[in-house]
Structure 1
Amino acid sequence: MPDSITTPTSALGDELVRVVKLMHVARQRAPRQHPLVDPMAYPLLFTISRGPSRVSELAEAVHADVSTVSRQVSTLVDHGFVSREADPDDGRAQVLAVTTEGEDLLLALRENRERWLQGLLADWSDDDVRSLTTWLARLRGDLEASFTTTTGRTDR
């Protein structure tokens, strides 16, 4: 497509496709923080660290199927990173909470991610990093809203 026809959103779409692909490659090449835990389960651990939640709430928060999340949570529980506790609001149900071992894993994940990003963005100014963070947060918010609204837009 000639550049004269390219719109800002089509250029953005092209860049997003490239970035998503490269992030996928980066994730595949990254060493596992724990040899027995699938890195796809790490977002669950980060989400649970915000506060105890049921598997169904966790699945909704990470936009995944309950059966997939349940399987990944079982692995986290089996390795001692997450515990199952009685739900204080409904004793028949269980909530998930991060254990001390899980907190240690989260800390290591955050440190490794920050070290990687610092190397990747070494030539960026702090203002550029802050701007990217602001724009990504806005894009994430609009993307999440698009899953729950008919307009796909958030109010500003």
Structure 2
Amino acid sequence: MHCTSTSTPAGALGDELVRVVKLLHVARQRMPRQHPLVDPMAYPLLFHLAREPRRVSELADLVHADTSTVSRQVSTLVDHGFVRREPDPDDRRAQVLAVTDDGSTLLAAIREGRQAWLDTLLSDWTDDEVRSFTQQLSRLAGELETSLTTTTRTDP
């Protein structure tokens, strides 16, 4: 187990979160891309668009990114046929983005690769341990999302 110098539970959690985030970053860099021309940073856009068509500005809000950054990522996804632009049913002057069949195929490959990686990583965990961790992680993610959408300034 990794030792921390922090004596409070929240302090120890903070140390472990920093460690996990750094390790996930390294793991992401080392993982093969599901498509050689699509940046893995654009994958979350596909996941959101698979749920329902959205405008670029909505996507940017959902992934907590700048609209111009998301717009560039979307352009790449459109250029490669994973996303299509279509008229917004609520405002025909605007456009929404939707996942294509090729985009759905890419999403399935992403999920399959992630699942294989997690199966290997958690091979000695019980199903109950995985479920418990998933619940706690989901709770933390929810709190973090709420924090990001309700505050204008965050401290590290």
Is the TM-score greater than 0.5? yes
Rounded to whole Å, the distance in 2 between the matches of 1:4 and 1:116 is: 31
RMSD over aligned Cα atoms: 1.4
Q: How does 1:2-151 map to 2 (within 5 A)?
A: 6-149=7-150
Alpha-carbon distance change, 21 to 5 in structure 1, aligned in 2, over 3 angstroms: closer
Alpha-carbon distance change, 4 to 112 in structure 1, aligned in 2, over 3 angstroms: closer
Rounded to whole Å, the distance in 2 between the matches of 1:5 and 1:18 is: 14
Alpha-carbon distance change, 5 to 72 in structure 1, aligned in 2, over 3 angstroms: closer
Per the TM alignment, residue 22 of structure 1 is displaced from its structure 2 partner at its CA by: 0.2
Unaligned runs of 5+ in 2: 152-156
How many residues in Structure 1 have an aligned counterpart in Structure 2?
149
Q: TM-score, normalised by structure 2?
A: 0.92
AA of the residue aligned to 1:147: L
Percentage of matched positions with identical amino acids: 73
Per the TM alignment, residue 147 of structure 1 is displaced from its structure 2 partner at its CA by: 1.6
Deviations 1:29-84 (A, max 9, x none): 00010001011111111111110000000000000000000000000000000000
Q: TM-score, normalised by structure 1?
A: 0.92
